[in-house]
């Protein structure tokens, strides 16, 4: 500010109160420069870029409702006799955890609604993260510089799964107790240390009197604390990297075309928060979730059919349900492969998708930054891998719900189990091949559209009697959008003999990389996009329609 | 001198009439699988000693006569009148002693302990029939049916006789009072009058249907909302 302006402002008298508050805060917090740098941050417009927001908002809703629930929940396994208002459990013995959950559901004002919002929001949170992750995957948004943020997001998904699982276990009802029992069994199957781990976790024999209090600390403190940190880091990185955008005229790797955070996205995002809250609250008011009163208190000697975990743990249930009950006995020890193998595959399923970005960047050897998103069809191998992974995941979900598939589709549960066993190996391969072919087909269609224009549906008869369909040329914008993607050349192994004629040893990893690169970008895996020459040749009107 | 004998004869006649009628019905509707004397064949088990309760359950719920062989004989439309069912039952119980049809006093949920029934149900029945009797799958296409709105008499008889894949729970295992309690529990948690305090029950099947609902109606609605919000930009022109 110049001296003149200063004088003028002094002449105007006292600044308005809002400005004085801002001044006061800026003098102490230095927020002006931070806000100046970030408030006008540009975000591109696309509905799929709002999937992450759904996750963020449902996470906030979970925290808010969770705080309310902690006010009434007693994380204790002391045995009490129930004398609340739910008649079919009158006089039953149960843990304090279960009875306080009944109390929240029936005797705390708004308790049941808050419980249902908390639980529905958790299911939506995980589903939102899944879809958000797939959006990032299929558009290649995980490429440099966003690999770390991809891992942050992945960790959030995995931690979300375990936060959900510990929360689902807290009411100590018959359903969740069966889930905890299953977890105990899985831990016990670990060779050598399994029993020690189980006794350490449960403070002795299952179920003991400790696990609810321990899960409570993990559920409300440890995991959400880590997740909150990751969410903040995730968002800081989104700001730092700036948002990706789809290709289009005027959009380059160096700019972002969209609307500024302040005021447009502030309004949109703020409004969207209330819409998310509204939808989740409406769902929670319409449909019940986890009706623990119907399930009854947990007792290790009872079990019900249809005992499944929440959907995000469903694939692990599938792994265990379809695994043959193999067992090895030696020197008086038993190795329960029927449980231990699924326990080992469980992290593998998750890691398979998490490490993919690193595999792809190794194959391409591309060290450049990418801020323009791919259309899934233009990266056929990646898209095929993603669909194969989702197929794998879905096949396991079928396994996890095999009993309900059996009763609702009048099938034999044994046939479903065998289907899942075979499909576990076969379905991803089929999905990979089919998806890749579809992508290539779509690429051919794009090429056709660029070179020959859009089919107008108008049939024209030429003077000599021939019928042709009139093709409308695409607009310049559309042409740009369809041809903006770049296509990699398959990597070669390079010269094996140097300038002095000395032969160099070719490493196995180099050969593998060349092979993979050929599989990714060879003739079989991408349709060369139309070149300018081709376009000119065809549109010049010599000998073409 | 003949009067007492007359009376006794009259009783016998009513009973034997029912048996006779039942035998005729049996010969038409049941004998092809269960054999002409109820001794059983390769297509159907022996009915000697199953008792009238088994007949009342199987025929009274429409399971018998069976329509076709399969993993399990499903419940369907009842084809006999209650009078005919009673005659069939009389005939079958004449073949050998077995559990008899319970009286209303035995199976009515009046004066039973619902909470006790719930505990018994979770201990003995929930493994196959689910927490509140919504049913569940068994091996090779068999299933434990839903117990929603099943006649209390039929629930009692099923426990007594153990139809098809179900184990039987005679009075030595589950006393008369226990059975009453279980019936009262089912009446409280799984009938037309059952209230679901949290809203739609989604089949009462647990996390699978909840997960499906969360994906379709929770996330589905939110994505629809996201598309709607994203379609409204701050631009002057709205395309």
Exposed, middle or buried by CB within 10 Å (0-12, 13-18, 19+), for A362? middle
Is the CB of residue A314 less than 8 Å away from at least one CB of chain B?
yes
Q: What is the pLDDT of residues B123-173, one digit of tens each?
A: 999 999 999 999 999 999 999 999 998 999 999 999 999 998 999 999 999
pLDDT at A68: 97
Of the given ranges (A284-298, A465-479, B68-82, B223-237), which has the lowest mean pLDDT? Answer: B223-237
Tokens of A371: 């801020």
Residues 6+ apart with CB under 8 A from B25: B80, B84, B87, B88, B91
Take residue A130 and report the two structure tokens written for it: 């899944």
φ, ψ for residue A373, nearest 5 deg? -75, 150
Q: Which of A356, A314, A382 is nearest to A526 (CA)?
A: A382
Please answer yes or no on whether A127 and B215 come within 8 Å at the CB atom.
Answer: yes
Q: Return the pLDDT at A7.
A: 52
Q: How far apart are CA A433 and CA A441, in angstroms?
A: 12
Q: How far apart are CA B215 and CA B210, in angstroms?
A: 9
Q: Percent of chain A beyond pLDDT 90?
A: 73
Picking from B70, B114, B131 by the largest number of A CB atoms within 10 A of its own CB, the best residue to mutate is: B131
Burial class (CB in 10 A: 0-12, 13-18, 19+), A169: buried
In angstroms, the separation between the Cα of residue A45 and the nearest Cα of chain B is: 6
Give the SS3 label for residue A79. Answer: strand
Residue A461 phi/psi, 5° resolution? -105, 125
Contact A271, A179 (CB under 8 A): no
DSSP assignment of B20-74, as one string? HHHHHHHHHHTHHHH-TTS--BTTB---TT-HHHHHHHHHHTT--S-SS-SSSPP
Between A199 and B233, residue with greater pLDDT: A199
pLDDT for res A354: 96
Instruction: Find all residues with CB under 8 Å of A275, minimum gap 6, and list them.
Output: B222, B225, B229
Q: What is the pLDDT of residues A369-386, one digit of tens each?
A: 999 999 999 999 999 999
Q: Do A276 and B225 touch (CB under 8 A)?
A: yes
Question: Which of A:384-413 have CB within 8 Å of B?
Answer: 400-404, 406-407, 410-413
Which 8-state DSSP code applies to residue A220?
I
Say how far apart CA B187 and CA B150 lie, in whole Å.
9
Distance separating alpha carbons of residues A137 and A353, to the nearest angstrom: 9
> CB–CB of B191/B121 below 8 Å?
no
Give just the sign of the alpha carbon dihedral A404, A407, A413, A417.
negative
**Quick check: A288 and B196 in contact, CB under 8 A?**
yes
* Angstrom distance (rounded) from CA A314 to CA A508: 39
The whole-angstrom separation of Cα A264 and Cα A259 is 6
Instruction: Give the number of other Cβ atoms within 10 Å of residue A492's Cβ.
Output: 10
Q: What percent of chain B has pLDDT over 70?
A: 92
> Which residue is closest to B222 within chain A, CA to CA?
A276
Q: What is the pLDDT of residues B105-135, one digit of tens each?
A: 999 988 899 999 999 999 999 999 999 999 9
pLDDT digits (tens, 9 = 90+) for A321-342: 999 999 999 888 899 999 999 9
For CATH 1.20.810.10, list the domain ranges present in chain A.
42-305
The token pair that represents A82 in the structure block: 């129930």
Instruction: From the options 1.10.10.60, 3.30.540.10, 1.20.810.10, 1.10.1670.10, give the CATH code of A42-305.
Output: 1.20.810.10
Q: What is the pLDDT of residues A190-231, one digit of tens each?
A: 999 999 999 999 999 999 999 999 999 999 999 999 999 999
Residue of A287, A300, A396, A413 to mutate for B, most B C-beta atoms under 10 A: A287
- List, for residues A340-368, the tens digit of each pLDDT value: 999 999 999 999 999 999 999 999 988 89
Q: Residue A468's beta-bridge partner residues?
A: A460
Q: Looking at the complex, report in whole angstroms how far the Cα of residue A13 sits from the nearest Cα belonging to chain B.
A: 37
Helix (H) or strand (E) holding A91: none
Interval B26-55: pLDDT, tens: 999 899 999 998 899 998 899 999 999 999
CB contact under 8 Å between A301 and B123, yes or no, is: yes
For residue A276, give the chain B residue with the closest CA.
B222
> Any idea what DSSP says for residue A499?
T
Q: Which residues of B touch A402 (CB under 8 A)?
A: 137
Q: How confident is the model at residue A2 (pLDDT cuts 50, 70, 90)?
A: very low
The residue of chain A nearest to residue B139, with distances taken between CA atoms, is A413
**B102-205 belongs to CATH 1.10.760.10:** yes
Q: In the predicted model, is pLDDT for residue A12 greater than 80?
A: no
Rounded to 5 degrees, φ, ψ at A259 are -115, 150
Q: Between A124, A131, A401, which is nearest B208 by CB?
A: A401
Residue B211 and residue A123: Cβ atoms within 8 Å?
Answer: yes
Q: What is the mean pLDDT of residues A26-46?
A: 85
pLDDT of residue A332: 86
Count the Cβ atoms, other than its own, within 10 Å of residue A280: 29
Cross-strand partners of B200: A287
Q: In whole angstroms, how far apart are CA A405 and each of A24, A125, A319, A431, B137?
A: 63, 25, 16, 22, 9
- Provide the pLDDT confidence category of residue B1 given band limits of 50, 70 and 90: very low
- Name which of A30-44, A108-122, B106-120 the model is least confident about: A30-44
List residues bridging with A145 in a β-sheet.
none
Which residues in chain A are contacts of B207 at CB distance < 8 A?
A: 175, 290, 308-311, 314
ipTM of this complex: 0.91
Determine the average pLDDT of the residues in B75-100.
92
Cβ atoms < 10 Å from Cβ of A100: 24
> Is A303 close to B126, i.e. CB distance below 8 A?
yes
Residue B73 near residue B110 (C-beta atoms within 8 A): no
**Are residues A293 and A102 in contact, defined by beta-carbon separation less than 8 angstroms?**
yes
- Check: CB of residue B230 under 8 Å from CB of residue A47: yes
**In whole numbers, what is the pLDDT of chain A averaged over residues?**
92
d(CA A463, CA A471): 18
Q: pLDDT value at position B239? A: 46
Rounded to whole angstroms, how far apart are CA atoms A482 and A467? 29
The proportion of chain A whose per-residue pLDDT surpasses 70, expressed as a percent, equals 97
- Provide the pLDDT for residue A11: 61
User: What mean pLDDT do residues A44-65 have?
Assistant: 95
Provide the shortest C-alpha distance from residue B183 to chain A (in Å): 12
Task: List the one residue out of A400, A431, A393, A432 whose CA is nearest residue A416.
Answer: A400
Q: Do A287 and B215 touch (CB under 8 A)?
A: no
The structure tokens listed for A379 are 């990266």
Residue B26 · residue B44 · CB < 8 Å: no
Task: Tell me the two tokens of residue A335.
Answer: 């190795």
Q: Among B213, B207, B31, B172, which Cα is nearest to A307's? A: B207
Report the chain A residue with the minimal C-alpha distance to residue B114: A88
Kindly provide the residue ranges of all beta strands, DSSP E only, lying in A208-305, ordered along the sequence.
245-246, 259-260
Spell out the CATH class of B1-101.
mainly alpha
Question: What mean pLDDT is predicted for residues A275-300?
Answer: 95
Say which of B118, B138, B208 has its CB closest to residue A296: B118
Confidence band, pLDDT 50/70/90 cuts, at residue A179:
very high
Is B134 in contact with A264 (Cβ distance < 8 A)?
A: no
Structure token digits, residue A187 = 């831990």
- In chain B, residues with a C-beta closer than 8 Å to the C-beta of A112 are 197-198
CA distances from A356 to A172, A245, A363 (A): 38, 21, 11
Chain A residues lying within 8 Å of B229, measured CB to CB: 47, 50, 268, 271-272, 275
């Amino acid at each position: 500010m110049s001296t003149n302006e200063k004088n003028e402002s002094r002449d105007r008298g006292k600044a308005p109160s809002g400005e004085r508050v801002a001044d006061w805060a800026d003098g102490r917090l230095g927020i002006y420069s931070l806000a100046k740098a970030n408030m006008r941050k540009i975000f591109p417009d696309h509905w799929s870029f709002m999937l992450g927001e759904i996750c963020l908002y449902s996470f906030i809703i979970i925290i808010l409702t969770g705080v309310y629930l902690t006010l009434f929940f007693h994380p204790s396994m002391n045995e009490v006799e129930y004398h609340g208002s739910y008649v079919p459990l009158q006089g039953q013995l149960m843990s304090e955890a279960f009875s306080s959950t009944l109390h929240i559901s029936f005797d705390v004002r708004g308790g049941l609604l808050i419980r249902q919002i908390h639980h529905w929001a958790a299911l939506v949170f995980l589903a939102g993260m899944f879809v958000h992750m797939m959006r990032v995957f299929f558009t290649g948004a995980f490429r440099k510089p966003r690999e770390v943020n991809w891992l942050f997001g992945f960790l959030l998904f995995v931690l979300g799964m375990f936060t959900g699982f510990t929360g689902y276990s807290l009411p100590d009802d018959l359903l969740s107790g069966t889930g905890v029992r299953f977890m105990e069994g899985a831990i016990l199957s670990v060779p050598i240390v399994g029993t020690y781990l189980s006794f350490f976790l449960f403070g002795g024999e299952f179920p003991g009197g400790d696990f609810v209090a321990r899960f409570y600390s993990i559920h409300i403190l440890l995991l959400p604390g880590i997740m909150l940190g990751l969410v903040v880091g995730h968002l800081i990185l989104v700001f730092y990297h700036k948002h990706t955008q789809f290709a289009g005229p005027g959009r380059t790797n160096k700019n972002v075309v969209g609307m500024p955070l302040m005021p447009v996205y502030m309004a949109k995002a703020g409004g969207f928060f209330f819409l998310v809250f509204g939808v989740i609250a409406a769902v929670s008011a319409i449909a019940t979730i986890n009706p623990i009163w119907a399930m009854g208190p947990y007792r290790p000697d009872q079990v019900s059919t249809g005992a499944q975990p929440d959907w995000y743990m469903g694939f692990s249930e599938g792994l265990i349900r379809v695994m043959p009950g193999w067992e090895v006995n030696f020197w008086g020890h038993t190795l329960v492969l029927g449980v231990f193998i699924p326990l080992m595959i469980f992290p593998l399923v998750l890691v398979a998708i998490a490490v993919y970005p690193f595999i792809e960047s190794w194959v391409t050897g591309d060290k450049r930054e990418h801020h323009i998103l791919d259309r899934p069809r233009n990266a056929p191998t990646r898209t095929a891998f993603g669909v194969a992974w989702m197929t794998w995941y879905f096949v396991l979900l079928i396994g996890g719900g095999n009993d309900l598939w059996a009763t609702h589709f009048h099938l034999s549960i044994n046939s479903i189990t065998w289907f899942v066993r075979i499909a576990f190996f076969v379905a991803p391969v089929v999905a990979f091949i089919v998806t890749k072919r579809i992508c290539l087909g779509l690429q051919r269609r794009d090429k056709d559209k660029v070179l020959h224009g859009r089919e107008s549906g108008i049939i024209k008869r030429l003077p000599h009697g021939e019928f042709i369909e009139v093709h409308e040329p695409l607009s310049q914008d559309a042409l740009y959008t369809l041809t903006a993607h770049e296509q990699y050349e398959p990597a070669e192994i390079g010269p094996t003999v140097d300038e002095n004629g000395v032969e160099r040893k070719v490493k196995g990893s180099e050969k593998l990389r060349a092979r993979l690169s050929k599989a990714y970008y060879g003739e079989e895996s991408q349709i060369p996009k139309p070149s300018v020459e081709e376009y000119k040749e065809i549109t010049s009107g010599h000998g073409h329609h | 001198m003949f009067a007492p004998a007359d009376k006794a004869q009259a009783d016998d006649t009513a009973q034997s009439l029912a048996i006779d009628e039942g035998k005729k019905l049996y010969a038409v509707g049941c004998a092809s699988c269960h054999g002409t004397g109820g001794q059983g064949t390769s297509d159907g088990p022996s009915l000697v000693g199953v008792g009238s309760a088994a007949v009342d359950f199987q025929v009274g719920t429409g399971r018998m006569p069976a329509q076709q062989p399969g993993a399990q004989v499903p419940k369907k439309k009842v084809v006999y009148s209650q009078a005919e069912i009673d005659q069939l039952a009389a005939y079958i119980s004449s073949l050998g002693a077995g559990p008899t049809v319970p009286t209303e006093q035995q199976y009515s949920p009046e004066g039973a302990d619902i909470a006790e029934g719930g505990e018994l149900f979770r201990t003995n029945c929930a493994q196959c029939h689910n927490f509140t009797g919504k049913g569940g799958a068994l091996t090779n296409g068999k299933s434990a049916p839903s117990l929603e709105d099943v006649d209390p008499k039929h629930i009692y008889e099923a426990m007594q006789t153990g139809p098809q894949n179900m184990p039987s729970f005679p009075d030595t295992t589950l006393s008369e009072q226990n059975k009453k309690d279980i019936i009262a529990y089912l009446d409280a948690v799984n009938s037309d009058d059952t209230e679901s305090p949290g809203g739609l029950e989604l089949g009462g099947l647990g996390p699978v249907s909840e997960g499906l609902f969360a994906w379709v109606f929770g996330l589905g609605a939110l994505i629809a909302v996201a598309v709607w919000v994203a379609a409204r930009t701050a631009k002057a022109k709205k395309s």
